[in-house]
Each structure stands twice: as C-alpha cells, then as structure tokens.
Structure 1
C-alpha cells in the first residue's frame, strides 16, 4: 500500500477555525454583544440524528446504552434484532463479517447499508469495495442509531436502504474506569477495560477489547483484539478538538466456502479444511474533529478521517459441492480441494494438510475531510435549522491473489514471494460530495428539503488476472459518475407526543468491482458493466408515546430500484433491472410499571416487518442469469418478527425472554437456473427455510454496588437451521450462553 502525505489535509483542518471566525459576525452579529460561555457538552458531534427528534421526517430507531446493558447482546446481530426492517444473516458465530440488510436489500456483507462510527464510514472502501468485515465492538458503544428515511440526504454513498451509526462513549470529565470479564460455552471468553479521566480542559480515555471462541463450524475458532484511544481538548469556550486512534486485529479460521448437499446431510457443522483455512485482518484508524461554536445558533465542525485495512484469506475449497461454473453438471455434493501436487489427491479431503490453495490478500486505504456548518436562522421570517457541508474522499485499493499446489503456500509470506501471482488489481477512487438541508418550522409542521451531489471517479487498473499472459498489456477502465440526490420530508406534531411523517428521497449506491477480473476483458463490456444502483424511496408513518408507558411506531415504505445489482455467480455482479420493495414496519413497547405506577415493571417489546413486495420487474422471460419479472428478490424474507417479555425493578434487576422469527428466503438468481445436478448437489440452490430462535438475558446490579452481574443466552433451543446458501450451505449459530461481571470504579 502506497502511503500518501496527510500534512496538507491536517493544515486545512487547522485553518478552518480562522475561516469560520471571519463568518461568525455575518451569521450572528449580535453574539458579541451578549457573549455567553458555550457548553461543549451540548454539541452533538457524533450523532447522525438532530436534537429535535420530533422534526425528523422519517423512520429511525435508537438502541441506547441502558438497553444494551440490560440485554447484553452477544453481537451486533442481537443488538439490532428488535429493530423493525432489519434482516441479519449470521454465517459466523460473532458476526465478524456482518450481513445486514434493511427493507429487503441483500444483506451480503452489508453492501447496501451505510455503516458508520461517530459519523465515519466503516466499510473496507465505501465507494470502491463497499463490504463490511468489521463493526464497532459493543463494549465501546454508547448508543446505536438506525436511520431509514429521507434524513439520509446528508450522508453517503450508500443511501438506498438505511444507515447505522455506532456512537462511542464520550471521554469522562473525571476519573472513571471499568473492567468486564465474560465466559461461555463454545470456548467463548472475553474482556473489556475502560479507563479515562478529564476535567474542564477535556479528557482522555482508553478502551481495550478482547473476544475469542469457537465458530459455528468445527475448526472455525476466532480471536479479536482492539485498542482505542480517544481524547478531547477544550481549547476555549468555543473551540474543541476531539481525536480518536484505533487498532484492530482479527485472526480466525473462518472460510467463506460452505458445504455441498451431501456434506450438509452428514454433518452440517463440519469444515473439511478448517485446520488450514485462515482469515486475518488488521485495521488502523484515525479520526479528528474540530468543533467551533460560532454562536448559540451556529456551529462549524470539521472532520478528518483515515483508515487502513489489510485482510488476507486462505482457502483450500473454492466452490461448494465440487460446483464448477465452467462445467455444468459437475457437482457431487462433496467438496474438492482446489490445488494439490497431484490431481488425484483433490477428492480426498484428508490430504488437505499436504495440499495448497489460494491466498487473497487485499489492502485498503481511504481518507477524507468534511467541513459542515449547522446553523439556525429566520430567513423569510420562518424559524429554520440548516446544514451545509462538503466532503472530499480518496481511496486506494490493491487486490491480489496467489496460488500454489504444495503445502508451503499455506504460509502467506511464502505465497507472496514464490506463489503464482494470479491477480493484481489496483483501484483508485476520488469522490466529492456536496449537501445542503433546511428544516422549516411552521407551527406543528416541520418541512425538510435537502439535496446531495455525489461526484465520483473510479479508475481500475488490471495489472494481472485470470487468463493473463506476458504478451497481454495491462488494462484499465475509468468510471465517472455524477449523481444529484434530492430529498423532501414532512413531520406533523399536532398531537401530543406524536409525530406523523412522510418523505421521499433519491437513493444511490456506486457499482462495486467484480471479485475476479479477466485482464484481457477490462476494456470491454465484460468487466465493470454494472451501472450504479439508483432508487426512489418513499415513507409514511407515525411514532408516538401519547399514552403513558406505551410507545409505538408504524411505517409504510416503498422503494423502487432502476438498476439493482445482483450476484450472477463466479464472483461477477450484474444489473437486474427494475425491482420493487414495499412493506410495513411495526414496533412498540409497553411498560406496565408506568401504566399502573408501580416499581414492578413488567414490559413487552415487539418488532415486526412485513415485506409484502420484494420482486424483480424486468420484462422478458427466464434467461441465463435467472431474473424473471415477478420473482422474489434474494434474501428478502417476507416476515421478520421479534417479541420479548421482561421484568425490571429499581433494585437493579432486568430479565427478559423472547423469540426471533425469520420467514423463508430465496437464494441468488443464478442458483435458480443451475443445471439439475448442480442444483441438487452444489448447496447453492434451494430455499432458506424459516426459523425461530429463543433468547433470554438477566442483568442485576445491587443498589449501592459497583458490580453488575449478567447472563445471556441465544438460540436456547439449540435449533439447527440453514442461515445462507451464498457460496454453499452455512449453518446458523448453535446455542450460545455466556455470563459475566462488570465492575465500575
């Protein structure tokens, strides 16, 4: 990875206060006549939701710290499973590679859901490779924000489904510390240490996280470690600097290749080459923010972010069930070793230790700067809140693949030095984003028009790939896109503690590169033929806590895609034409303790999504890619439901038990038109049956105690179920129970 100098950007960050100071008098000339100390605690610099939630013209959900502590979710999957509209496919035990889909979007690697931490994107590369192999550990999280409506205009590039922002804990104003230890079945254990101190000058805080355990399949153990240093410096009453440094490491034996049908029937939890398969990842991040409180009605915040990720996977089985896209009907239902010194060795998986395979090391680097001005004004005599901002973003991506037949290739260093270098693809991205939004307050009404412009240049340089020869020159392709994305939302608050909202916005998701690229075809329609996804997203809904102890929400949504992107098999992505997503989301909570004014609070929470329409609208008959007008979209369950019954008491007790349900799902379209033998045996074709899982948790912190004790269990019935057929059959997680203690100093 070639490092680029950051000094120019850092200098730009430092000059922003001077520029803002020149504008301060224009924005609020009276501020100097009535100077007051600006309390920086009121500045929300990490949230994607505004202060006035009643004016938000779309659906949103917040999972706060209190709920996270009470429920003690095992992973991000359990943290979000009570949020309407969200489908999470769990193919690894700890959701290390999260698969989050919103409103029928394909959840594969969260490609169509914008993930952020404190407003900073979390993808490998947000534009060039929008896939997630990381999400913020919940130990560091203060709350989780989920936004699905027209409020997405301010963020990007993924705005077709929704956004999830992990808001991390703020630095303390005085000495604080906590330690937590947990242990459970499946050899699961972990710990978290948080220590920080602060004062009027600011603060500093250190987080250390460790998690390890066995995976869903045999020999799929994992371990992650993360260190995060966060600091805040209050330069004066108006200027604040916030900095965050992060380092993350993952070492796991998880293979992305699933099982064939015969292997699944014999042992659905086997991993034939798990002893050799590897997935290693390191992630380094830097986030800097400068906040200038121009006045009580104006704030200029400037964010600089940088992320460097290196991930490398080694696998010995490239396709499930011996499926070969170039040889229809070749599947047998049993895996085959990809590369061995002798071809005869490949059919006997006991030879895995003596055979080779393929490494896929990939390096990602991205950075950007984003100044944003938030201010209140009375233009035309109407009370308003406005946002104006700009972001410059750069990405450098390097994708490699090395292969060899012998066991020595199981060492990554050997593979990179002496292996067959089969892929070398370099992708450069420059993206400029401009956005503006204004909320007009007219009595009980809040009207919010907004616009975002994405100007993107993606250059792909294929140095080496499948079929390359020394005579073939390297190939390149430049893809330029400029998209104007308007949005408009309305919120009405004419009923006490109730908001009725409606909105529409234009969504956009840039095309991602093919996984395996043919060098000789890089300048033809064969490669990078996918157009960006564009959508029109409509919403109408209500949220209310009009009755004491009762809160609820209901949202009707309709999304229409112009060029949905789907997996066509063999690592290629194609446009599937038009598609339509329509449904209703319901969520609510009843606290009977508040209803009857008693400290014994029995409560019920529920979330339900009915995706009654999720279909292709392409004209024509069945073709090779399997797209048929009217067919259901892949991995878009019609029903998703979660219901929990709980009890809490001021003595510090919270206990709950619940059920999560996901209905039947369809697989990728290419798998629907496979050769009959491949369809029957590869593991790629067929339904994903419905399943229901029982979960429970208990948390107790005695009055006056600094210790919190908790136990949490997921899939308590130990149900065996199929989670996905992407790259073969993957079982869902077995019963997982863990307990722990947290002590606050």
Structure 2
C-alpha cells in the first residue's frame, strides 16, 4: 500500500496510542496531511483492508466496545472466532486467553500488546498475564491469527492481541473530553474521565491527554465474616505530543506515562462440587485472608519521521515495572493436597481436612495447619524497537516492504514465604510457627529480534511473505540451592520463522485466502536441557465474501505441533515444581472459524445490526507418555487437550435508531475437559456447557449526554466454568448497571 502516489500524499504517525495499529495491523497506517495536522487512520480497522487481508483478523472498534460497556476482556473477546477463554474470577482480572488452541493458561502463549509494546510483566522470562490493563479505557482491540503473528513475537503459535489506547485529540475535534459514571449491583462503581487537546504554539502542534479510571466492586462471593470479595482498580495515563511545523522529515514525537494499581480479595480456593450445587458463590473461611495487590508503571517514548515520500521510520523506547504481592492459601502444612480433599470431601482423612477448610472443625495437628504464602514478585520489561516502511511500484505491482528490529530485556524476581495459620472457631489464627522461605530466584532474558515482511499487490492478487529471526539469552538464578550458593543456569535459543499468506479476489463480492507460518514459543530461563521449545507449523485456508451491508468469512485452520509445552504454575493447579516446563510431544489442533456481520435497514431511521461468530475445534495428542503436569497426566494417543471447547457460538443482535440502541449478546460454549489424560485429581471431569446472555441499551438525551443500562448474565445462569486452580468456580452472576456519559 503506497505511502505516496501521484494523487494523494500519505503520512503515518507513531502516536503511542495507535502505534500498535502500525505494528500489528498489516504494516502501515493510512495517513493524510490536512491543515498541517497528522490524521491517524487505523488501516486494519478499515473495511477495505479487512476485506483484502491475506490472513485472519478482527478489529473491535470503540463503538463496539462501548455498546456493552464490558470491563472484562474475556467478554470483549467472545465475539471473535478462534478465541478460547478459561474463566477464573468472573471479572477477567488475570485473563486466560488462547488463540486457535494455544494454551489459554494466563494468556502466556500469545503476544499481548498495548500500543504495539509487549505488556506482560516479563514476556520472555515469565509471560503469565498477572497484569492486564483496563479494557474500559481502550478505543480498539485488534486480534491477529495466522502468518501475521511472526512480526510480533516472541510467541507466534496462536497469534497476537493488541489494545489501542486513546489517541490525543486533534485541535479541530469538537469533543475534548468525557466523564463516564456508572453504578450497579455488587456495589459496582466506575468513574472514568479524560481530557485531551492539541494546541498551536509558534506554529508547532503540542498535544496532551490526561485520563483516569477507577473501578470498584464488593464482589459476588460471600464469606461468613461479611468481608469484601471484590476489588478496586485504578489507572492514570498521560500523553504529550509534539509535531514541529518546519520539520524536514515531518516528524512527530509522543511521550506516554502511566500508573495503575489493584487490590483484590481474590483466592485460588474454590468449592467441592456438592457445595457448588448448594451455594456456588460461597467462600470457605480458609480463604478469608487472601489478598492480591499490585502496582504498575509504564513510560514510552515514540518518534516518527517521513524520510522520503516512500520511506518512513518509527521507533519506540519503553519501560514497564510491575510489583505484586499475593497473600493467599496455598495448601495444608502436611502433604494432603487441597484438590484431593475437594474431589473426595467425605472419605477417610479427606473429610477431616475438608472440615478445616470450611470451618466446621478446628486444626488439631500440624498437618492440618493452613499454609499461606506471600508470593512477592518484581518484574521489569524494557527495550527499543524500530520499524522501516518502504513502498514502491514495480511495473503494475504495488510493493510494500516492512523491516523491524527489537532489543528487549525483562526480568522477574520471586520471593515466596510461607506462614501458618490454624482454623479456630471458623477463623484463621496465626500459629506462631516461624516463617519459611519457599522460593527465592531471579530469571532474566535478553532477546534480539528482527523481521522483514513483503507485500505485493497486483490486480486481484495480494501476497504477503515474512521472515522473523530471534536470538534469546536466558539466565536463571536460584538463591535457595542445596549448596547454599546461588545456582545459575544459562540457556540460549536462535530461531528463524517464515510465514506466507495470499488473498485472491475472484470478483467484487468473493475471495479466497491461504497461509502458512512457523509457530514458536521459547523456553523460559532455567529449564532442563531436555525441554524443547514449543514449535508448530500452522496452516489456514478460507473464503471471504462481502456486500454493501454485510460480510462473511470462513477459515479452516490446522496446527501441526512437533512439541507442545505445558508450564507448572499455581493457576494451572500445581503446588510444586513451579515454573517448570513439560514436553507434550506431537499434537494436532484443527478447526473451522466462521463469522458474519450484517446491518439490515428496517426504515430510514431504524436498523438491525447482526453478527455471528462460530468456532469448531478438535485436538489430539499423537503420542503416549506420562507427565507430571497437572493438566495432562498419563496421556494416550488420541486424548484431547484440556480447556478447548469443541463448539463456541456468539450471536449479537440489536435495534438501532438515531438517538437510541438496544442489543443482546448470546454466547454458547460447550464443555471443556479439566485434564487431558488419566491419573490426575481432575481426570475425567469437564466444565459445564455455558449459555450466557448479556443485554445493553443507550439513549442520547442531548448531543453531549447519554445514559446507558446493561445487564450481564441476564438469565443468571450458574455453571462450573473451571475447577482450577483448586475447586469448582462460578462465572459472574446477573449484574445490573446504569450509567451516564457527558462529553465536553
């Protein structure tokens, strides 16, 4: 796609709020200079480029995000085919997202980004998404699968998700800011406000944005003490931009600074199946002290320069710091596992331990004491990345070349300490036993990555070919080694990942697409030499059709893993060998994605927007093996992967007029295995199939004021959405929320 032509001059900007669109859209933003202002247009968000994309992708626009006013990224993504979710806390605080079969555990197998920058606390050393920004302040969410993933890394198996933060308002924008307040059941409260403007100073443009959001709820679970089981989250964001008037290279600078924090009274302890049937929202007294709190800081500097009409460069330097403490129940002081107790709470010694969990009996022995761990972890992620775009015409071919380079470093320091409490009269009482350090280590990774992507467009044919190369150096330091000296383990990996995609437009309505890419997930630092990286060859073949008021897409995908990996974490149900990775050998994942959208006009002022997304998925291990990984166990060839539903369906239907709109979102997901093989506590068990209905509506009182109402889980369905980490867990119950927005 040309940056310049004989008729139109294009420009692109790296505003950090939309740079990710540059970095994970198809390469370049369409840009246009008007009245010396840089107008940012997300190219992958445009109808035309989605129509001719060589791979599968989806963009959820600001209008779509505001329709249902979801605060939970799980609910936001349910309308995108090929996305898999494992619920945990009902609010998506620590999301579990997978793409096309990539393990959903803590979203650790996909590339997560905000404004084009990796957002996980330590994307290489510890990619689990214990931090996730509030989707309420985003203006777009982009999902990419297939060959497009090779540009982003380090994980290129399933795909990439990028969240686009609010851009700085241009000076001619009629609206500079907004205040959004809502309240509802479960003592839900949200206050969200922003203000932005661009001023002219001595001919130069200086823009700024200030944004803040507070989200609070008392939670939907109940403790006998009456204490809150909810959370409070805050985010503050500031942006400052500078665009010099007489810049030779039409430059643009932007500084982005952000702070966020959370305190949540969340637990890994669930319920026995019997107690779930009686009261799914119960919390056992053993979890009364559980609390998770974190702080997150980010700073990002972006620079764009148009070196020539056909050559553009943008660069981002970034640093993110994340500090978290999770004080929570980890297990019994003895060897009895919580999961074993919850699976058979009425048999033998399990019955005695279960009575301690639910407060019916006091702790009488040291083995019945409850171990609480303060899991203190400190992360940083920093780096610099730069991308060049070059566009030219060769005969009748439009050729676009994109080359990128990134130097990245991240680190996690862990200090896990155990304290012991006794259950006394259904309350937790400190036992007086000395604190024990369970884990003290530091993992650090340095990675150098580069890629080149070429796009050729001629008449009805579009071709994309890319190549990613990455060298990764990891170091693990164990400060609790048996020799009392620090044990250091080093590992390195170099990988080259190709990908190619094609789209052929048969006519104005119909086209075909195909693609293949090499998938890769690196080992985290300190893994044994016999642990292989996750690798796969990923194929897709599909068709796309569109008309004036409708579009549809069907894509078949086939993932051929030479090695699938599992990682032992608390959230996956492990209590020992934390952060250890396991080989799963050869695995096949295949399926079909279908999506369709239409806007039916009932009259000049009334329309019916419709959308449908369906995913069918099958999976099979190809080998027999025994694994200590809690989600696998003893595997026989033909066993299916856990937490991968066979069928997923999402239907959205609405009624829209000029000043109001109502909408309904219907989600169905079939049951999911809790464990793949035999020999684990959860072998043979499945989650329950899910039917979830959300409704929303808004009314424009006047040009600047809108009121809205939403009901999540309209039918108040209650299903077991997961038995991990420890015990049966429900989704969020029915919740009514009413809000008002005022623009100024």
Residues 44, 125 of structure 1: alpha-carbon distance in 2 compared, 3 angstrom cutoff: farther
Alignment match, 1:475: 487
Query: 1:82 & 1:424 partners in 2: Cα distance?
Result: 41
Q: 1:627 aligns with which of 626, 635, 643?
A: 635
- Equivalent residues in 2 for 1:559-708, closer than 5 Å: 559-567=559-567, 569-570=574-575, 571=578, 572-593=580-601, 598-611=604-617, 613-619=618-624, 625-650=633-658, 652-669=659-676, 672-674=678-680, 679=681, 686-702=685-701, 704-708=702-706
Alignment match, 1:297: 310
Alignment match, 1:435: 451
State whether structure 2 residue 418 is matched by structure 1 residue 420: no
Q: 1:95 aligns with which of 92, 103, 110?
A: 92
Alignment match, 1:287: 300
Residues 42, 544 of structure 1: alpha-carbon distance in 2 compared, 3 angstrom cutoff: farther
1:518-568, Cα deviation, whole Å (9 max, x unpaired): xxxx7xx8x57532111111111223322x322111111111111111256
Query: 1:316 & 1:125 partners in 2: Cα distance?
Result: 25
Q: 1:234 aligns with which of 243, 258, 265?
A: 243
**Local SS of the residue matching 1:701:** strand
- Equivalent residues in 2 for 1:76-475, closer than 5 Å: 76-174=73-171, 176-200=176-200, 201-218=205-222, 219-236=228-245, 237=247, 238-272=250-284, 273-318=286-331, 319-321=337-339, 331-332=350-351, 334=354, 344=364, 357-378=372-393, 382-405=397-420, 419-464=435-480, 469=482, 471-475=483-487
Query: 1:257 & 1:530 partners in 2: Cα distance?
Result: 30
User: Is residue 616–residue 633 contact of structure 1 (8 Å, CA) maintained in 2?
Assistant: yes
Q: Which moved more, 1:106-115 or 1:131-140?
A: 131-140
Residues 634, 727 of structure 1: alpha-carbon distance in 2 compared, 3 angstrom cutoff: same
Query: 1:152 & 1:40 partners in 2: Cα distance?
Result: 32
Query: 1:636 & 1:561 partners in 2: Cα distance?
Result: 16
Give the deviation of 1:37 after TM superposition. Answer: 8.5
Give the deviation of 1:222 after TM superposition. Answer: 0.5
1:427-475, Cα deviation, whole Å (9 max, x unpaired): 11000001001101122111111000111011111111xxx55x44332
Query: 1:202 & 1:592 partners in 2: Cα distance?
Result: 43
Give the deviation of 1:142 after TM superposition. Answer: 1.4
Query: 2:40 & 2:312 partners in 1: Cα distance?
Result: 9
Residues 38, 511 of structure 1: alpha-carbon distance in 2 compared, 3 angstrom cutoff: farther
Give the deviation of 1:38 after TM superposition. Answer: 9.9
User: Is residue 71–residue 136 contact of structure 2 (8 Å, CA) maintained in 1?
Assistant: no
Give the deviation of 1:46 after TM superposition. Answer: 10
Alignment match, 1:12: none
Compute the TM-score of the two structures, normalised by the length of structure 2: 0.83
Query: 2:241 & 2:514 partners in 1: Cα distance?
Result: 38
User: Is residue 105–residue 636 contact of structure 1 (8 Å, CA) maintained in 2?
Assistant: no
Give the deviation of 1:295 after TM superposition. Answer: 2.6
Residues 164, 50 of structure 1: alpha-carbon distance in 2 compared, 3 angstrom cutoff: farther
Query: 1:658 & 1:278 partners in 2: Cα distance?
Result: 33
Residues 258, 530 of structure 1: alpha-carbon distance in 2 compared, 3 angstrom cutoff: farther
Residues 622, 134 of structure 1: alpha-carbon distance in 2 compared, 3 angstrom cutoff: closer
Query: 1:144 & 1:357 partners in 2: Cα distance?
Result: 37
Query: 1:528 & 1:423 partners in 2: Cα distance?
Result: 22
Give the deviation of 1:269 after TM superposition. Answer: 1.9
1:147-170, Cα deviation, whole Å (9 max, x unpaired): 112111211111111211111111
Give the deviation of 1:511 after TM superposition. Answer: 2.3
State whether structure 2 residue 511 is matched by structure 1 residue 504: no
Give the deviation of 1:51 after TM superposition. Answer: 8.8
Residues 621, 98 of structure 1: alpha-carbon distance in 2 compared, 3 angstrom cutoff: closer
Give the deviation of 1:510 after TM superposition. Answer: 1.5
Between Structure 1 and Structure 2, the one with more helix by share is 1
Q: Which moved more, 1:173-182 or 1:242-251?
A: 173-182
**Local SS of the residue matching 1:405:** strand
Residues 130, 575 of structure 1: alpha-carbon distance in 2 compared, 3 angstrom cutoff: same
Which blocks of at least 5 consecutive residues in structure 1 are unaligned? 1-35, 408-413, 514-521
Between Structure 1 and Structure 2, the one with more strand by share is 2
Alignment match, 2:499: 487
**Local SS of the residue matching 1:557:** strand
Query: 1:621 & 1:139 partners in 2: Cα distance?
Result: 43
**Local SS of the residue matching 2:181:** strand
Alignment match, 1:29: none
Alignment match, 2:425: none
Alignment match, 2:735: 736
**Local SS of the residue matching 2:673:** coil
Give the deviation of 1:89 after TM superposition. Answer: 2.1
Query: 2:355 & 2:529 partners in 1: Cα distance?
Result: 30
User: Is residue 69–residue 136 contact of structure 2 (8 Å, CA) maintained in 1?
Assistant: no
Q: Which moved more, 1:527-536 or 1:475-484?
A: 527-536
User: Is residue 279–residue 311 contact of structure 1 (8 Å, CA) maintained in 2?
Assistant: yes
Give the deviation of 1:294 after TM superposition. Answer: 1.6
User: Is residue 554–residue 595 contact of structure 2 (8 Å, CA) maintained in 1?
Assistant: yes
Query: 1:37 & 1:252 partners in 2: Cα distance?
Result: 47
Alignment match, 1:64: 61
Give the deviation of 1:345 after TM superposition. Answer: 6.1
Q: Which moved more, 1:314-323 or 1:494-503?
A: 314-323
Query: 1:196 & 1:405 partners in 2: Cα distance?
Result: 51
Query: 1:619 & 1:363 partners in 2: Cα distance?
Result: 39
User: Is residue 317–residue 337 contact of structure 1 (8 Å, CA) maintained in 2?
Assistant: no
Residues 562, 100 of structure 1: alpha-carbon distance in 2 compared, 3 angstrom cutoff: same
Give the deviation of 1:50 after TM superposition. Answer: 12
User: Is residue 260–residue 334 contact of structure 1 (8 Å, CA) maintained in 2?
Assistant: no
Which blocks of at least 5 consecutive residues in structure 2 are unaligned? 1-32, 223-227, 332-336, 423-429, 569-573
1:214-265, Cα deviation, whole Å (9 max, x unpaired): 3343242110011000121103451100111110100011012333445435
Q: How many residues align?
A: 667
Q: Which moved more, 1:656-665 or 1:167-176?
A: 167-176
Q: Which moved more, 1:197-206 or 1:38-47?
A: 38-47
